[in-house]
Amino acid sequence: KGGYVSMAKRYQEYCKENSFYRTLADKGKELPAVNQMIGAPIIWIQDHGDPNQIVKIAEQMKNDGIDKAIIEVGHAHYSRTPGLEKEALQMESVIQRVRDMSYVVSKYDQYRECAEKDENGHFWEQVNTDAFPDACLRQESGELRQGWPPLFLMNLECGLELAKKHIPADLKRYAYNARFIDCIGTCVIWEGEDWDP
């Protein structure tokens, strides 16, 4: 009863009862990026082949008086596309330079869907290929459950395992101080079914 506010308050009580309640202030003491994100706009920057464009845009934002922002960097294809090794290397310094401007630098990520490996597939469609087909959700018929074509939905517990593997490896190379993990909270009930024994 009472809608989302009541549910949020009840969940807060549950967290307190089970000793894992933390305020934003508590989180901000542990991780300064939390304080940088409160009230900050999220800016998505696609650099179209020149990572240094990201720095130029961030500098312009700073000059225009935008002191707080989360910069979502669209460059996942560099590490997966042959011939773009130079750009991938540039991204290492680009991310650090943007962070030095006191911006939070984030990467888009998702662990709801996976794809069959395809060397010719578009980079946005080549996500979590190491999970295919073992982590895919299956319908009662045994068929894989389709996600956003050509992707397939995957078991979220498997997604957590992938995140534990992918994120630390990514952070060894790139100095992100935030990550936007999409889709998990948007799944409807039928997408959570898993008929695979």
Q: Tens of pLDDT along 122-138?
A: 777 888 999 999 999 88
CA–CA separation, 196 vs 91, rounded Å? 40
Matching residue, tokens 């995957």: 154
SS3 state at 135:
coil
d(CA 75, CA 88): 8
- CA 143 from chain centre, in angstroms, equals 28
Q: pLDDT band at residue 79, thresholds of 50, 70 and 90?
A: low
Q: What is the structure's pLDDT at 195? A: 54
Neighbours of 140 (CB within 10 A): 7
For residue 112, give both structure tokens: 């709801």
Residue 35 has pLDDT above 80, yes or no: yes
Q: What is the mean pLDDT of residues 142-158?
A: 88
More confident residue, 59 or 149: 59
C-alpha 59/C-alpha 188 separation (Å) is 40
Q: How confident is the model at residue 183 (pLDDT cuts 50, 70, 90)?
A: confident
183 with 110: CB under 8 angstroms?
yes
> To the nearest whole number, what is the mean pLDDT of the chain?
86
Torsional sign, CA 59, 60, 62, 67 = negative
Q: pLDDT value at position 105?
A: 95
By C-alpha distance, which of 40, 49, 120, 53 is closest to 78?
49
Q: Sheet with 104-110: list strands edge to edge.
A: 42-46, 70-74, 104-110, 178-182
What tokens does 181 get?
């993990």
